[in-house]
Amino acid sequence: MDTRIALIGILVESDASTDRLNQLLHEFGPYIIGRMGIPYREKGINIISIALDAPLNTLNTLSGKLGKLEGIRVKSVIQKREESP
């Protein structure tokens, strides 16, 4: 199966959707290489960075579901498809 490496940056601006956020990350856990969370108390936000190795449609599905959550901002960077020589 063709997979891509991706980074997903998440800003949690309110706690309204944190349960659903954690549920989604657990659901997509088999694709997660690593996760780092940083509470930025002075600004009242949490910053989460996730590295994944997954099929493109899986990455798009996760990003889309995360982007629909209230109080959550998401940006993704996905590896370009490797071209055959």
Classified as helix, coil or strand, 80 is coil
Name the token pair of 56. 């493109």
At 51, which CATH number? 3.30.70.1150
Task: Specify if 9 maps to a domain.
Answer: yes
Q: What is the pLDDT of residue 56?
A: 94
In a domain, 25, yes or no: yes
pTM of the model: 0.88
Provide the pLDDT for residue 84.
Answer: 54
Count: domains in the chain? 1
What was the pLDDT predicted at 1? 75
> 61-85: per-residue pLDDT in tens?
999 999 999 999 999 999 987 655 5
Amino acid (one-letter) located at 26:
H
Look at residue 85 in the predicted model and tell me its pLDDT. Answer: 53
> Angle 18-27/56-67 helices, nearest 10 degrees?
170
Residue identified by tokens 């490797």 is: 82
pLDDT for the residue 80: 84
DSSP 36-48: EEEEETTTTEEEE
